[in-house]
Amino acid sequence: MNIFYYDIAVGLPIRQCFTYKSPVNIKKGKRVVVPFGKKTLVGVVVRKISQPNSFGKSGAIKEIISTDEEFVCFDKSIFNTILWASDYYHHPIGEVFFSFMPTILRKQSNKTITSLNEISDYEVNESNKSFKLTKEQELSLIKLKKIKKFKPSLIYGVTGSGKTEIYLQLAEKALKENKSILVLVPEINLTPQLVTRFKDRFKGDIGVYHSRLTPNQRFKVWLRSKFGEIKIVIGTRSSVLMPFENLGLIIVDEEHDQSYKQSEGFRFSGRDLAIKRAQLEDIPIFLGSATPSLQTLKLVQEKKYKKFDLLRRIDGKKPPKLIPLDITDSPLIGGMALQTMSIIGETIKKGEQVLIFINRRGFAPLYECDNCGWVASCNSCESNLVFHKSKNRLICHKCESVYRINKACPDCLSEELNVHGSGTERVEDILSTAYPKVPIIRVDYDSTRRKGSIEAIYEKVHNSEEAILVGTQMLSKGHDFPKVTLCIILNADGGLISPEINALEKISQQLIQVSGRAGRNNNLAKVIIQTRYPNDLNLKQIKTGDYQLVANQCLNLNKSLSLPPYSSICILRTTSSNPKSSLDFLNRASLTLDNRNGISLIGPLPSIPLKIKGNIRNHLVIKSPTKTYLNRVLKFLIKEFEIWPESKKVKWSFDIDPYDMS
Ligand SMILES: [Zn+2]
Ligand SMILES: [Zn+2]
């Protein structure tokens, strides 16, 4: 009898595979069940090996328990993308496989990979193509449709330039060639409107895939897509490795968006994984944005990506200019200057809508004792607590801990406790007192948590005449508000003067995205930025509304400072109950890398927040001139960690291409 040996990855945080044997010949990417210690676990076949190298003799090698599933879980290109990702992000291979396996398949159960036979048909609804394409759209489309193989293309389209119509027509072409389409969006809230556009156009089932669906719902979409029963899937980063019968095209909408980067656990970028997948499948990938990332723009400059410009809005209007409003000498009411209040008043009197952007949720960011200066802070992570009036609680925005309101100061027993600063709830509060008859609609994390709430909010906005929308960066994403003629940005100063790497890229993307939400249907929107720095050089550039100009400046600056995308960064993060262990470990890592050619280090530094659930967090920033060199250095470092006593006392992880540097 033949015996085959396999390396199997299990869903545990372990940087290795385990060898098992079986009399059956099993394909790579298949799901199997294996004995593991006293338990049995689901695993994935990573490779067949000729000779077992562990334990010396083959008798000690355990046998795979179950191999009877008919279909592979991971097709070749998805399988290879996962191997690449595990290597690039230095993340345990089993956990990477499991990140892209439907939850239901991660445990032994009676559910298996099998076709559901619920086939959807697609038919192009010609009457849905209500408007004529602009010249720009038409020219870009002709060229975009000619792309047959892997050649990433940036669709640089200002807000209102009709990017979605381009996506629809590219999808139509793929469908006609009997191919499937994957559309990635950065956030769940953006899925409903895009799904509606695709449904209206193609009259068939659109698979929707994101973390707020139940495991059963997700499994169903996954199966239908795998067996070619649905041909269009729209989802967030977790859907990047969705199996398809014949994938022909990937679209990454709002490619610059930070939500593509997973911020904990397996910290991958959905956009970058999509690009790798498209490369391995040799299919076209289209990245869309009005404010593309510096990384993408650099690759365009280097002619590795192609760029297609949609610089005119379909209504023929130019994108709005931003007007700074100097508030240096103005008293603020809930974050708003008197002048701001009066412009809001004038606008709603005309029956128009106002959009107010404030990048902070809750009522006020500080709850303070006016007598001794005590500030309410979180017991587990030490961040300042935010007062939420609607819940009458203090909430930690870093770790979500919730606290009752103190009646008296815990330090001096004074009852002079007060709130300071302002967030969405406070702005809403002040405006509803000032304009009791006008609908004030708040859009933030708290008001959109329930299922269907975002759809209800958008419906209310579209059905109202005069109305005031108050929201966080959620408002700056994707959705358009044609009746808004005034857009006010309240607290941009933090972003303008931030010392953080790429702060200018982030703030300009945010401001230009917010201002693009407003004013369609022949309305010209006015965009006002309250600021204490009206003469700030960066603001002067941003206010032109010309993102390309700002982006070029950012690129030049980063090139001169060798910052990403002209170098590669990894953050080595630690958590430990003991502050000394954490620093000892990072200090040793720092010493080890100190004399490495080309590597520069920042830190060890305390992370923000410093404490989570009682554990101290620190980090070390590692900068390398290239990605390949960084990869090599990190591999060396992992080998070192294995023999250091310091690494036994901490939990460490790598964050490659970090978005958040704190
Ligand atoms: Zn006090
Ligand atoms: Zn906290």
Each residue of 572-614: pLDDT tens digit?
A: 999 998 888 889 999 999 999 988 888 999 989 988 878 877 7
* E strand or H helix that includes residue 190: none
Ligand 2 centroid, distance to 389 Cα (angstroms): 18
Reading across the β-sheet that carries 232-235, which strands appear in turn?
207-209, 232-235, 180-184, 247-252, 285-289, 153-157, 306-310
Ligand of minimum distance to the alpha carbon of 418: 1
Ligand of minimum distance to the alpha carbon of 611: 2
Cα–Cα–Cα angle for 98, 84, 270, nearest 5°? Answer: 65
What's residue 494's pLDDT? 78
Ligand of minimum distance to the alpha carbon of 610: 2
Ligand 1 centroid, distance to 601 Cα (angstroms): 41
Distances (CA, A) of 650 to 13, 220, 583, 584: 14, 40, 10, 10
Determine the Cα–Cα distance for residues 378 and 417; give it in Å rounded to an integer: 17
Ligand of minimum distance to the alpha carbon of 410: 1
Q: What is the mean pLDDT of the chain?
A: 89
Q: Report the SS3 class of residue 311.
A: coil
Q: Report the SS3 class of residue 209.
A: strand
Six-digit token pair at 584? 């000892």
Ligand 1 centroid, distance to 416 Cα (angstroms): 8
Tell me the pLDDT band of 521, cut-offs 50, 70 and 90: low
Ligand 2 centroid, distance to 610 Cα (angstroms): 10
Domains, the chain, in order of start with CATH, read 4-106 (3.40.1440.60), 126-310 (3.40.50.300), 322-363+422-557 (3.40.50.300), 568-656 (3.30.70.600)
Residue 516 confidence (pLDDT) above 90: no
Ligand of minimum distance to the alpha carbon of 400: 2
- Identify whether the C-beta of residue 612 lies closer than 8 Å to the C-beta of residue 380: yes
Residue 31 CB contacts under 8 Å (≥ 6 apart), including other chains: 42, 43, 44, 69, 72, 73, 101, 105, 113
- Identify whether the C-beta of residue 34 lies closer than 8 Å to the C-beta of residue 10: yes
- Identify whether the C-beta of residue 389 lies closer than 8 Å to the C-beta of residue 353: no
Ligand 2 centroid, distance to 496 Cα (angstroms): 26
Ligand 2 centroid, distance to 166 Cα (angstroms): 44
Residue 314, burial from CB neighbour count under 10 angstroms (0-12, 13-18, 19+):
middle
Ligand 2 centroid, distance to 304 Cα (angstroms): 43
| Among the listed residues 141, 154, 149, the one whose alpha carbon sits nearest the alpha carbon of residue 308 | 154
Ligand 2 centroid, distance to 236 Cα (angstroms): 27
Tell me the pLDDT band of 329, cut-offs 50, 70 and 90: confident
Ligand of minimum distance to the alpha carbon of 372: 1
Ligand 2 centroid, distance to 362 Cα (angstroms): 15
- At 71, the amino acid letter reads F
Reading across the β-sheet that carries 393-395, which strands appear in turn?
386-388, 393-395, 402-403
Ligand 2 centroid, distance to 652 Cα (angstroms): 21
Ligand of minimum distance to the alpha carbon of 384: 2
What's residue 574's pLDDT? 93
Task: State the SS3 of 266-288.
Answer: CCCEHHHHHHHHHHHHCCCEEEE
Tell me the pLDDT band of 53, cut-offs 50, 70 and 90: low
Ligand 2 centroid, distance to 210 Cα (angstroms): 26
| Among the listed residues 532, 526, 533, 487, the one whose alpha carbon sits nearest the alpha carbon of residue 510 | 487
Q: Which residue reads 């298949």 in tokens?
A: 30
Least confident range from 210-214, 270-274, 609-613: namely 609-613
Distances (CA, A) of 591 to 255, 532, 605, 606: 37, 43, 15, 18
- Identify whether the C-beta of residue 22 lies closer than 8 Å to the C-beta of residue 63: yes
- Identify whether the C-beta of residue 534 lies closer than 8 Å to the C-beta of residue 497: no
Per-residue pLDDT reduced to its tens digit, 419-444? 888 899 999 999 999 999 999 999 88
- Identify whether the C-beta of residue 516 lies closer than 8 Å to the C-beta of residue 545: no
Per-residue pLDDT reduced to its tens digit, 38-51? 999 999 999 999 87
Reading across the β-sheet that carries 4-10, which strands appear in turn?
18-22, 4-10, 39-49, 31-36
Ligand 2 centroid, distance to 614 Cα (angstroms): 10
Ligand 1 centroid, distance to 419 Cα (angstroms): 13
Ligand of minimum distance to the alpha carbon of 385: 2
Tell me the pLDDT band of 277, cut-offs 50, 70 and 90: very high
Least confident range from 520-534, 558-572, 604-618: namely 520-534
Ligand 2 centroid, distance to 400 Cα (angstroms): 6
Residue 72 confidence (pLDDT) above 60: yes
Residue 319 confidence (pLDDT) above 80: no
Residue 379 confidence (pLDDT) above 80: yes
Ligand 1 centroid, distance to 371 Cα (angstroms): 5
Ligand 1 centroid, distance to 409 Cα (angstroms): 5
Ligand of minimum distance to the alpha carbon of 371: 1
Q: Is the dihedral of CA 572, 635, 30, 12 positive or negative?
A: negative
- Identify whether the C-beta of residue 385 lies closer than 8 Å to the C-beta of residue 446: no
Neighbour count for residue 373 (Cβ, 10 Å): 10
What's residue 523's pLDDT? 58
Six-digit token pair at 68? 């009877």
DSSP for 579-638, written as a single string: HHHHHHHHHHHHHHHHTSTT-EEEEEEEEEEEEETTEEEEEEEEEESSHHHHHHHHHHHH
- Identify whether the C-beta of residue 121 lies closer than 8 Å to the C-beta of residue 204: yes
Q: How many residues does the chain have?
A: 662
Neighbour count for residue 77 (Cβ, 10 Å): 20
Q: Which comes out higher in pLDDT, residue 455 or 547?
A: 547
Q: Which comes out higher in pLDDT, residue 159 or 532?
A: 532
Ligand 1 centroid, distance to 412 Cα (angstroms): 4
What's residue 57's pLDDT? 53
What's residue 171's pLDDT? 96
Ligand of minimum distance to the alpha carbon of 408: 1
Residues measured by CB to lie within 5 Å of ligand 1, the ion = 369, 371-372, 374, 409, 411-412, 414
What's residue 478's pLDDT? 64
Residue 54 confidence (pLDDT) above 70: no
DSSP for 7-19, written as a single string: EEEESSS-SS-EE
Cα distance between the two ends of the chain: 57
Six-digit token pair at 111? 């559910």
Residue 58 confidence (pLDDT) above 80: no
- Identify whether the C-beta of residue 321 lies closer than 8 Å to the C-beta of residue 526: no
Ligand of minimum distance to the alpha carbon of 414: 1
Ligand 1 centroid, distance to 406 Cα (angstroms): 11
Ligand of minimum distance to the alpha carbon of 379: 2
Ligand of minimum distance to the alpha carbon of 409: 1
Ligand 1 centroid, distance to 374 Cα (angstroms): 5
Helix ranges (H only) for 360-439 are: 424-434
- At 289, the amino acid letter reads S
Q: Report the SS3 class of residue 32.
A: strand
